[in-house]
Amino acid sequence: MDDVERTERIVVQKADKIWLDGELVDWDKANVHVLTHTLHYGLGAFEGIRCYQCEDGRSQVFRLRDHVRRLFDSAHLLMMDIPFSQEEIFEACKETLRANKQEEAYLRPLVFFGDGAMGLGSAENKVRLAIITWKWGAYLGEEALEKGIHAKVSSYMRNSPRSLFPKGKVVGHYVNSILAKREAMLAGYDEAIMLDGEGFVSEASGENIFIVRDGVVKTPGYSTGALGGITWDTVVKLLGDMNIPVEFDRFARDELYLADEVFMCGTAAEITPVRAVDERKIGEGKRGPIATKVQKAYFDLMHGKYGAREEWLDFL
Ligand code: PMP
């Protein structure tokens, strides 16, 4: 094990500005104190959003309103009152991209408790909000999009709704995802698939999951304990546009192994096929026909050439 050192190095390319608590500040000045509450206890919420450049040269932020809404939902679950309106954050995301002159970027709004009081019972610290934007290519690599990845069923259980809020994109939840992801990578796999407390497939460390068998697509339903992925919802609707039936149901590890196709989706990972899970090849061990169609529709949509669903594109 010692000679397997697999890490992903996603180096953030510095831009000019970061939006912090209502104003654009210089990138290097967007710093916080070490007593920042969220740094100690993980109570915070964040989003991951992408901005793509379309065929006609314009840039669009994909489903920005839905992402901003989920940020506020996550904060609501944590009883953190964001001192801005959704509309203000919606505009601030676009303002940050414009200030950084980024035509394509990943956006990371982050809600956190500032410094001041310490301890688990303190809730009076200022709720702060940062929006950082940076260039980010394919999360799992270009090759992954084309050839598919090798995933491992994790030994870590997905966060349970009995103890946390899987529908919230909460900072501290990601300890669970990171442990699963690192376990998978250190064992030579690309990504982790996590089961819920009852042994049903929930999702990957940062992606929702779909399986296909005999032309029918299946995915765990919205209420089954995975994050309510915005890409997941997008894929469901794109499949609908293609008249491909989707079933919302739980499935266990055996169905995963027996699938003709498995694919994952998320803002960062986009549409990523899975060519193998654990020691089993999935289907023919390459990107399958439905994943290929979904991927094409998704990238067409992102680049303004899908010809429908334009209400999801917020142009800069
Ligand atoms: N599940 C988890 C645990 C995630 O972190 C993400 C990424 N936000 C997703 C699913 C996919 O969500 P979305 O499509 O909204 O990016």
**Shortest-distance Cα residue to atom 4 of ligand 1:** 206
Annotate 90-118 with b (16+ C-beta within 10 A) or e (fewer).
Answer: bebbbbbbeebebeebbbbbbbbbbbeee
Q: How far is the C-alpha of 194 from the C-alpha of 204, rounded, in Å?
A: 6
Q: CA 293 to CA 239: how far, in whole Å? A: 9
Compute, in degrees rounded to 10, the torsion defined by CA atoms 196, 139, 165, 66.
-130
Task: For residue 18, report the distance from its CA to the centre of ligand 1, in Å.
Answer: 23
pTM of the model: 0.95
Strands 127-134 and 149-153: unpaired
The answer to whether the CB of 306 is under 6 A from ligand 1 is no
How far is it, in rounded angstroms, from Cα 209 to Cα 219? 6
Any atom of ligand 1 within 6 Å of the Cβ of 229: yes
Token pair for 295: 């991927």
Report whether residue 219 contacts ligand 1, using a CB cutoff of 6 Å.
no
At 3, the pLDDT band (50, 70, 90 cuts) reads very low
Q: Is 220 in the pocket of ligand 1 (CB under 6 A)?
A: no
pLDDT at 278 over 90: yes
What are the backbone dihedrals phi and psi of residue 208, each rounded to the nearest 5 degrees, phi first? -85, 165
Any atom of ligand 1 within 6 Å of the Cβ of 196 = no
Confidence of residue 123 (pLDDT cuts 50, 70, 90): confident
* Pocket-testing residue among 110, 191, 227, ligand 1, by greatest number of atoms within 8 A of Cβ: 227
pLDDT score of 144: 87
Look at 60-69, 120-129, 259-268, 284-293 and tell me which has the smallest mean pLDDT. Answer: 120-129
Q: Decide if pLDDT at 24 tops 60.
A: yes
Ligand 1 pocket member 295 (CB < 6 A) = no
pLDDT at residue 4 is higher than 50: no
Q: Which of 107, 178, 208, 224 to mutate to test the pocket of ligand 1 (most atoms within 8 A of CB)?
A: 208
Domain architecture of the chain: domains with CATH: 17-134 (3.30.470.10), 142-302 (3.20.10.10)
Ligand 1: which atom is nearest the Cα of residue 177?
Answer: 3
pLDDT per residue over 71-92, tens digit each? 999 999 999 999 999 999 999 9
pLDDT confidence bin for 7, thresholds 50/70/90: low
- Catalytic annotation, residues: 169
Distance CA 7, CA 94 (A): 32
